[in-house]
Chains A and B, each alone.
Chain A
Amino acid sequence: METTIDIVLLTFLCITAMAIIHIRKLFCAIMLLGIFSLLSACLFVTMDAVDVAFTEAAVGTGISTILLLGAMGQTNAHEKRPPYQPILALLVVLVTGSILIYGTMDLPAFGTPDAAIHLHVAPRYIQQSPIEVGPPNMVTSVLASYRGYDTLGETAVIFTAGIALVALLSAPYKKNELAVKNEQGSLSTIQPATLHDHLILRIIGKMFIPFILLFALYVQFHGDYGPGGGFQAGVIFASGIILYSLIFGLDTAMRVISPTALRLLGAAGLILYIGVGILCILNGGNFLDYNTLASRPVDGQHLGIFLIELGVGTTVFAIMVTMFYAFSFRGRHST
């Protein structure tokens, strides 16, 4: 049964990918990419990766689609047909694909328990993490405690990407002489209709937003016991704010939470993470060695994981909303 679901979902994924290649309307391609993400999230669930599925569903179908649409609205909604047939590209892809498939011949079959990947560090994580670290969700233990350095790095990358995006999009807008208006008339010339006029959307949105935010907080603080954690919670909280801003307009949303506050929050989350690490050093341990934070090591682990998940959640939330603000603000001023 599991195998059947797996193969059906994989087939759907392949069909969606083919449709994305084929279609020339960027709007359709972006929507199909959202479906693609949702399908892959389902596939992750069948492969026991519930935390990953959670993240993919929140990021792939929510934030990523919104950002792509934001960029499309400011550029061009239609892809031009290239003047040549990309036969060489097809050839390169076919050759690379066959080499990769030849490479998989040596891999252990899908789902075998004695594959090399399951024999190295995984038994330690599975058997010892509930005793050494505490949280029943092993993914949280590995993410926040065993591989805390990695997660710190990833959080820093997200923060840096946010800075880069703000730097790129907050430069003063100057229309170059070179820029010629597209003959088809790009979407940016059409003033976007505000969703505020849609009565049903407005009422339903108003009802949903508190629950989305509450759910994000649940995901944040329940990440030790079930699927969830700072990354997912940050993205879900951000999608609540983005929904608010889509329905009630950018100005209202910016009054609720200002871009300056978001930038401070983004930095504060990262500083909280690093601060916990330094606190561990001051208490006589190594960087991010939570055992030193409390008298009992397991309590220390619990406190440390709670704090750094909070830091991750804050940074991810702030950076995601900052990115959305930057795109929509640019879009309004470029028209």
Chain B
Amino acid sequence: MTWVGHYNYWGAIFLMMSGFYVVISRGNLIKKLIGLNIFSTSVFLLYISMGKIKGATAPILTEAARLSPTPQLYSNPLPHVLILTAIVVGVATTAVGLALTVRINERYGTIEEDEIRAKDDSL
């Protein structure tokens, strides 16, 4: 029964697939971006889950931990660094996507994918 310990990964995969489903099944461009956001958050969850150690604490050295005779266990700080920057970069790229959506709306008067395609074909 070793696979029972994977629940966190499964949760992340479920969320990943929910985001993926929104991206490929919905025509609304803003909804697609929301789906992409869910997808990216699930990837963050997967990374942070991998860095976690049971019984460990946040990777910040405290005076108490330095003085205590037993070594303190810390979770892996590396995934935290990668994901921290990825979150801010994620919002910046989402904003570019939203700007594109706004410009598409100004051109076509709609942000529904099939209507945009119909207008392109009618030209």
* Interface residues in chain A, defined as those with a beta carbon under 8 Å from any beta carbon in chain B: 2, 6-7, 10, 13-14, 17-18, 20-21, 26, 29-30, 33, 36-37, 40, 43-44, 47-52, 55-56, 59-60, 63-64, 67-68, 70-72, 74-76, 79-80, 82-83, 86, 89-90, 92-94, 96-97, 100-101, 104-105, 107, 109-113, 115, 117-118, 121-122, 125-126, 130, 136-139, 141-143, 147, 150-151, 154, 157-158, 161-162, 164-165, 168-169, 171, 173-176, 178-182, 225-227, 229, 231, 234-235, 316, 319-320, 323, 326-327, 330, 334
Contact = CB atoms under 8 A, between A and B. Distances in A.
Contacts of B27: 80, 82
A64 B25 contact: no
Contact of A93 (B21, B54, B89, B108): B21
Nearest to B23: A89
A323 B97 CA distance: 12
A117 B50 CA distance: 7
Contact of B20 (A93, A115, A118): A93
A315 to B, nearest CB: 10
B43 to A, nearest CB: 11
A118 B114 contact: no
Interface string B1-12: 011111111110
Contacts of B50: 115, 117
A118 B76 contact: yes
A164 B98 CA distance: 12
Nearest to B77: A138
Nearest to B74: A126
Interface string B91-114: 111111011111101111111101
A110 B99 contact: no
A173 B49 CA distance: 46
B34 A63 contact: no
Interface majority SS (helix, strand, loop, mixed), chain B: helix
Interface in B35-67: 35, 37-38, 41, 44-45, 48-62
A105 B3 contact: yes
5 contacts: A43-B48, A82-B26, A117-B50, A161-B93, A234-B88
Interface majority SS (helix, strand, loop, mixed), chain A: helix
Given A18-B18, A29-B31, A40-B44, A49 B58 contact: yes
Contact of B84 (A55, A74, A97, A179): A55
Interface residues of B, number: 91
B111 A75 contact: yes
A-B complex: 8 closest residue pairs judged by Cβ atoms: A109-B5, A111-B54, A86-B25, A179-B109, A161-B92, A89-B25, A71-B98, A48-B75
B108 A179 contact: yes
Interface of B: 2-11, 13-22, 24-28, 30-31, 33-35, 37-38, 41, 44-45, 48-62, 73-96, 98-103, 105-112, 114-115, 119
A33 B25 contact: no
A122 B26 contact: no
Contacts of A96: 17, 20
A83 B19 CA distance: 21
Contacts of B75: 47-49
Contact of B53 (A68, A113, A169): A113
A90 B37 CA distance: 19
Contact of A48 (B52, B90, B114): B52
Contacts of B21: 21, 86, 89-90, 93
B60 A14 contact: no
A221 to B, nearest CB: 16
